Amino acid sequence: MSLIVQKFGGSSVADAERVMNVAGIITDTYRQGNDVVVVVSAQGDTTDDLIEKAYEINDKPSKREMDMLLTSGEQISIALLAMAIEKLGCPVVSLLGWQAGFNTSSAYGQARIKSIKSDRLKAELDHHNIVIVAGFQGINKYDDLTTLGRGGSDTSAVAIAAALHADRCQIFTDVEGVFTADPRKVKDAIKLHEITYDEMLELATLGAQVLNNRSVEMAKKYNVEIEVLSSLKRVPGTVVKEVAKMEKMLVRGVTKDTDVARISVTNIPNIPGIAFKLFSKLAQKKINVDIILQSVGRDDTKDITFTVSKDNAQTAIEAIKNTFDIEEKDIICDTSVAKISVVGAGMESHPGTASKMFEALFENDINIDMISTSEIKISVLIDINDADRAVLAVHRAFFNN
Ligand code: ADP
Ligand code: ASP
Ligand code: MG
């Protein structure tokens, strides 16, 4: 007998038929003699719809009330899924995040899991119940409901698998696994059988939303092997683990991220300490900066350009205005950009990956605006209108032979 954690995303439980399908997968696993804990997301586009409803009423809702609203999506899906399992004749109980013991930090909207008090989960398993847990949510020290950030149910599942030392952690979704590019956009994308935590973390951070990046971070920390697979087609998926077979691939994936804003600060004095002041101010505001470029301007000035996520752009601009005596015209923010990346541990030992990527872009007349590299990834910033074409071209360059 094994303890298996299964997570089902929003599209896997989008309507009654899909809920019954998922209930079938869960009860089959249970009837094979396993203990089963299930994490489920809100149905279909429920979370997006709830956000839209909030903004119809208030364009600046407090984060606390937003979390109160958004957690309701998962409350609906756990109850419906439990009812479907009851119908199939298995013992089941649904639990909200707080009932399942999820204690989080107090940062509404982006709370971090601090601990899982697993007594209730264990007691329900001892009573041979299938346990259905609401993903994406917990409770903070003020006894308020919190959410873990978009896509957070993946993290809920990995956290339970770690806390209960589960034998398996399966993330069911609407595609067959992790592919070399988004299989909905790139027809030739190849399913990976295995991938390392480090590569998956880069892919997830750089735009492959099939797994939430925090969930991969947590899986690596607690050594939880994740299996990503389809809830609609019973075929093997992708295993995410510490050491993975390379499958003779230099690059493991191509990603696109359009949640990027490029901010340029021009005409700043060319003296020491400017970059320090600027980026420490952004760090104080908890703004993550990605690509940074500094160049020498005219008349002993310099320009600094960097990228942040779109929702941090305005805060970043305000912070810069308050730090430097700077004219409005010297801060330029462009949100019509996209970041295209290639990821793969193999590139560390193979020169020429960057030139291959740049050649593919050049051949398709796509201009590169900024470049950043690490040991296992290369990212370029380009015009958002070229993004889909760029993904196809770069993917073709690495995988079509
Ligand atoms: P869920 O609702 O199950 O959490 P998500 O929509 O969050 O599902 O993630 C699954 C989606 O991720 C897929 O439908 C696919 O379009 C997208 N995706 C993007 N990049 C990749 C990739 N490299 N491999 C697989 N899926 C990807
Ligand atoms: N329902 C939440 C969201 O849409 C959490 C999740 O799906 O993982 O972001
Ligand atoms: Mg998801």
DSSP conformation letters of 105-171: -S-TTS--EEEE--HHHHHHHHTT-EEEEETTEEE-TTS-EEE--TTTHHHHHHHHHHHTT-SEEEE
Distance CA 158, CA 225 (A): 9
Q: Judging by beta carbons within 10 Å of its beta carbon (0-12, 13-18, 19+), is residue 70 exposed, middle or buried?
A: buried
Structural fold of domain 261-334: Alpha-Beta Plaits (3.30.70)
Å from CA of 71 to ligand 2 middle = 10
- Which ligand sits closest to the CA of 152? 2
CA–centroid distance, 275 to ligand 1, in Å, is 37
- Written as six digits, the tokens of 290 are 């990605």
Q: Give the closest residue to 72 by CA, choosing from 102, 52, 97.
A: 97
Q: Which atom number of ligand 2 is nearest to the Cα of residue 149?
A: 9
Residue 97 and residue 351: Cα distance in Å, rounded? Answer: 47
DSSP of 340-381: EEEE-GGGGG-TTHHHHHHHHHHHTT----EEEEETTEEEEE
Encode pLDDT of 182-241 as tens digits. Answer: 999 999 999 999 999 999 999 999 999 999 999 999 999 999 999 999 999 999 999 999
The residues spanned by each domain of the chain are 3-174, 261-334
Do the Cβ atoms of 350 and 252 come closer than 8 Å? no
The H-or-E segment that residue 286 falls in is none
Q: What are the phi and psi torsion angles at 354 (to 5°)?
A: -60, -45
CATH of the domain spanning 3-174, picked from 3.90.1300.10, 3.40.50.2300, 3.30.470.10, 3.40.1160.10: 3.40.1160.10
From the CA of 173, the nearest ligand is 1
Specify the ligand 2 atom closest to the Cα of 152: 8
Residue type, 254: V
pTM metric for this prediction: 0.94
Could you read off the pLDDT tens digit of each residue along the chain, which spans 401 residues?
Answer: 899 999 999 999 999 999 999 999 999 999 999 999 999 999 999 999 999 999 999 999 999 999 999 999 999 999 999 999 999 999 999 999 999 999 999 999 999 999 999 999 999 999 999 999 999 999 999 999 999 999 999 999 999 999 999 999 999 999 999 999 999 999 999 999 999 999 999 999 999 999 999 999 999 999 999 999 999 999 999 999 998 777 677 899 999 999 999 999 998 888 888 889 999 999 999 899 999 998 887 788 889 999 999 999 999 999 998 888 888 889 999 999 999 999 998 888 888 899 999 999 999 999 999 999 999 999 999 999 999 999 999 999 999 86
CA 208–ligand 1 middle distance (angstroms): 7
